[in-house]
Amino acid sequence: MKARVVVTLKSGVLDPQGKAIEGALKSLGVEGVASVRQGKVFDVELAGADANAAKAQLKTACEKLLANTVIENYQIDL
């Protein structure tokens, strides 16, 4: 089973990299960019076929390692 985990900064956490990208897009003339926040994507292949078990495993993976929950949120898509 394939899964995708998306880790993003919590709102309110300053994201200097996102700000720099936002500035670069504006300087390139890309119009309509209000703001940019940078995050991470993990594509994970799981051995089992049970969606609920997979979700629980990925939740553990996020809490233990993939996300620093002090500053980051995570979203699991199966």
Partner 1 sequence: MKTAVVVFPGSNRESDMARALTQATGRQPSMLWHADHELPAGTDLVVLPGGFSYGDYLRCGAIAGRAAIMDAVRAHAARGGLVLGVCNGFQILCESGLLPGVLMRNANLRFVCRMQHLRVERNDTAFTRRYDRRQTIKVCIAHGEGNYEADDTTIDRLEGEGLVAFRYCDSAGNVGGDANPNGSRNDIAGIYSDARNVLGLMPHPENLIDSLVGGTDGRGLFESLASAA
Under the binding rule (CB under 8 A), the answer on residue 70 touching partner 1 is: yes
**13, 24, 33, 41: which one binds partner 1 (CB under 8 A):** 13
- Is there binding between residue 20 and partner 1 (CB under 8 A)? yes
| Among positions 3, 58, 62, 66, the unique one binding partner 1 when judged by CB under 8 A | 66
How far from chain centre, in Å, is Cα 40?
A: 4
The DSSP result for 25-60, as a single string, is: HHHTT-TT------EEEEEEE-S---HHHHHHHHHH
Interaction of residue 64 with partner 1, rule CB under 8 A? yes
Is residue 7 within 8 Å of residue 42, measured between CB atoms? yes
Residues near partner 1 (CB under 8 A) are 13-14, 16-17, 20, 64-66, 68, 70-71
